[in-house]
Structure 1
Amino acid sequence: MSKVILVTGAGRGLGTDIARQALAVGHQVVATGRRPEEVETTLGGPQDNLLVTRLDVTSLEDAQAAIDRFGRIDVLINNAGNFYAGYFEEITPAQMRRQMETNLFGPMNVTRAVLPVMRARRAGHVITISSTAGLVGMEFCAAYAASKFGVEGWMESLRYDVEPYNICTTVVEPGFFRTELLVDGSTTWPELSIDDYAARTAPTIEGWKRMNGRQGGDPAKLARALLTLADQDKPPQRFVAGADAIEAVQAKAQELLAQAEASRGLGGDLAYDDTHA
């Protein structure tokens, strides 16, 4: 059944694949990006089921204007994001805030604009692209992981807020997919340079750059999987995407269980003792 699907960051990478495939199977697509003319060109020009509009996810006003223009939204796919790479001390406070504005507050802005429409219809599905780095911390990813860990907590909690109104939520943790996340327009390198980190920073940056275009995951297949989720009556609350991601998340789950058990001796008997009141 045809749905109205809003995709953020539709001008390139995974967002483009999602929009193209949604159009191909007959959905109506609201494709958004900071430069709408580029989005439309990338998607092949004007089409009957395609509506393109400007949306900078860091602007709540942009998000609200997009929703006011198009009204009904059945599925929101929060896809727009970027990557501020680097060791924590070499990332400036301003860079850290910009990472949060795009990756965490960005999807919050768009979702905040969409939810009243979904609540009024008592139907909807919010899908937010997180990352394996939203569940597993990684070297050189302090800002990115912090933003995606925030997405995980927000989306996991949002589920309880909106479930009574028949609105579903799904948070997606992709592994390494051959998107455009590592191109210069999406990746920002640290502005600061600290001698203690210098011997590690340069080769790590080169390693990330070499990875671009060689990631194992196929974004077209991921786009198809996301559209499959969007068509389900009871979509999963979490979707771990890619064999590498599944392996990493399973290892993290085992690690958490081991850490919880190791804490039992010291942390398991900390209840307030009323006899000492």
Structure 2
Amino acid sequence: MLAIPGYEDKVKGDAHVLGVDKLLGNGDGSAAAINALANEVRAKGGLFQVDHPGSKITKKFAGCDASTLTWGYGFDVRPDTVEVWNPSSSIRAAEDYLDCWLQRGARVALTGGSDAQTQYGQPQGAGYPTTWVLARNRSQGAVLEALRASRTSVSALPPAVGGRPLVIEAKRDGRFVPVIGDDVRPGEKLHVRSLDPLTDGSLRVLANGQTLLDQHLTRDRAIEFTAPAQPGWLRAELRLGNDLLEQTPLCGAIDLGANLCPYDAAMVAMTSPVYVR
């Protein structure tokens, strides 16, 4: 087990300060003060994360109107990562918030967190979901570096019970290599595959806010696609196949320690962005 020091900071919403071993000042809690905090964290080699921005929302997040979120700084404080997947929060709203950052040209990774407090309806504990990080080596510095570089994938299950990441790869020097968090060329041929040998599902690739690919991914197979001609970003997600789940945009406030929204319950895995340059 490798421990990464950090803490959850209660500001106008919840944030994570990762990679520091002491509490840092919030100032007056304004956006300027929180940006100063984030910059101090980065200077120390850490990173700043917005936690579960879709928590306890009561109306749909739409059109990048961040006032609907529990994260009170909107787009005034840039995070390094966004905890998109949390069992007590709306995945869909957090996805949309992340995509709004990407549409602004920011490079922001996604993570998942169990928030395991063994409360109502959450018997699984830590690792549901699991964040996978492609790091140079098994060290605190390498893990934080990989998080900053968006080299992450999140799965519903931990590895002990068969969870595996979803990956996007490109052919380099005659072999396929992971490119999540990296730059690819417009029109470059890519493929996406799940390292989970047991799970089929509906694969969706999003690019610049639009659906680039939506088809069934068979276990142990890869789906090839082409990076869009327009510069920007793309990311992938794998869900249990049911089109009706897409029509459940909001399940109301989530405050029971468990998220029972069908859209969120169907999520199997998702990746951080690949950047088209």
| Same fold by TM-score greater than 0.5 | no
| TM-score, normalised relative to structure 2 | 0.30
Between structures 1 and 2, the one with greater helix share: 1
Between structures 1 and 2, the one with greater strand share: 2
- Structure having greater relative contact order (Cα 8 Å, sep ≥ 6): 1
